[in-house]
């Protein structure tokens, strides 16, 4: 890890992290693999130093450019849903943001591909993932509405910004038997959807109400 408070004292200690994980388990997160990953990934290294002391609260936090690092419960739940049919070999994430969700995935699946439309966030996420010595994440500056065709199909796709409708390219880049997890809806409130692909059929169900930043077109 980065030298910055790497040992973790006070509000960023392993004990504080353990307490968050206990709270997540009490709130229904059952997959031990996911709980272990959240126990191991130091969320405080994925936010600015000024917010470090709040990193293990179960809340979203600002990461600059008007974007947020997702609430730990949401990260845990989406990851749990993604792993439910079996550990995916390759996962595509849309919305790298801080890189935290990618870091959690990198502990659990062989290959993570993550796309971010804001260049400055992507650069910071890349540094953080390198500092965390997670080398199985590949990042790309691009528009998630187009997916990442070069490495498709993906056994799992996780969308961490909210589109108004499921993007067609992502459905096409989902592998046979694969699962996509995405918040879909307008500003402020969305349904978290799970979509399973069987051949050309897509089975869809709603699992929770969530609130994500909007998925925007183009890159900056």
User: Token digits for 131?
Assistant: 């500092």
C-beta closer to ligand SAH: residue 75 or 194: 75
Using CB under 6 A, which of the segments 1-9, 50-58, 97-105, 130-138 binds ligand SAH? 97-105
- Residue nearest ligand SAH, Cβ-based: 97
Q: What is the 3-state secondary structure (H, E, C) of the chain?
A: CCCCCCCCCHHHCHHHHHHHHHHHHHCCCCCHHHHHHHHHCCHHHHCCHHHHHHCCCCCCEEEECCEEECCHHHHHHHHHHHHCCCCCCEEEEECCCCCHHHHHHHCCCCEEEEEECCHHHHHHHHHHHHHCCCCCEEEEECCHHHCCHHHCCEEEEEECCECCCCCHHHHHCEEEEEEEEEEECCCCCEEEEEEEEECCEEEEEEEEEECCCECCCCCC
x/- string (CB under 6 A) for ligand SAH, residues 21-50?
------------------------------
- Cβ at position 44, least distance to ligand SAH in Å: 13
**Among positions 42, 72, 144, 185, the unique one binding ligand SAH when judged by CB under 6 A:** 144
**183 is an interface residue for ligand SAH by CB under 6 A:** no
Q: Is the dihedral of CA 155, 161, 164, 169 positive or negative?
A: negative
User: Kind of pairing, strands 154-159 and 201-210?
Assistant: unpaired
Residues forming the active site: 70
Q: Which residue has the tokens 């709130």?
A: 27
**79 is an interface residue for ligand SAH by CB under 6 A:** no
**101 is an interface residue for ligand SAH by CB under 6 A:** yes
Using CB under 6 A, which of the segments 37-45, 178-186, 193-201, 212-220 binds ligand SAH? 212-220
**94 is an interface residue for ligand SAH by CB under 6 A:** yes
- 153's CB contacts (< 8 A; 6+ apart) are 173, 174, 175, 176, 178
Using CB under 6 A, which of the segments 83-91, 114-122, 130-138, 198-206 binds ligand SAH? 114-122
x/- string (CB under 6 A) for ligand SAH, residues 152-181?
--------xx--------------------
**Among positions 21, 81, 118, 139, the unique one binding ligand SAH when judged by CB under 6 A:** 118
C-beta closer to ligand SAH: residue 62 or 177: 62
**What residue ranges bind ligand SAH (CB under 6 A)?**
67-70, 94-95, 97-98, 100-101, 115-118, 121, 143-145, 160-161, 213, 215-216
């Amino acid at each position: 890890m980065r030298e910055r408070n790497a040992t973790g004292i006070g509000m960023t200690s392993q004990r504080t992290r353990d307490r968050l994980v206990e709270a997540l388990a009490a709130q229904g997160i059952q997959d031990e693999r996911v709980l272990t990953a959240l126990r191991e990934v130091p969320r405080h290294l994925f936010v600015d130093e000024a917010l470090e002391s709040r990193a293990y609260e179960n809340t979203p936090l600002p990461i600059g450019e008007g974007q947020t690092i997702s609430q730990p419960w949401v990260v845990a739940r989406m990851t749990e849903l993604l792993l439910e049919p079996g550990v995916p070999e390759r996962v595509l994430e849309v919305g790298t943001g801080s890189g935290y969700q990618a870091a959690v995935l990198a502990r659990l699946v062989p290959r993570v591909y993550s796309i971010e439309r804001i260049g400055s966030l992507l650069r910071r996420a890349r540094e953080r993932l390198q500092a965390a010595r997670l080398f199985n994440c590949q990042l790309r500056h691009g528009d998630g509405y187009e997916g990442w065709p070069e490495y498709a199909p993906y056994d799992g796709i996780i969308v961490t910004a909210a589109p108004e409708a499921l993007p067609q390219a992502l459905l096409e880049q989902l592998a046979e038997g694969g699962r996509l997890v995405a918040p879909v809806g307008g500003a402020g409130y969305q349904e978290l959807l799970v979509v399973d692909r069987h051949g050309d059929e897509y089975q869809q169900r709603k699992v929770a109400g969530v609130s994500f930043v909007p998925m925007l077109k183009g890159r900056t």
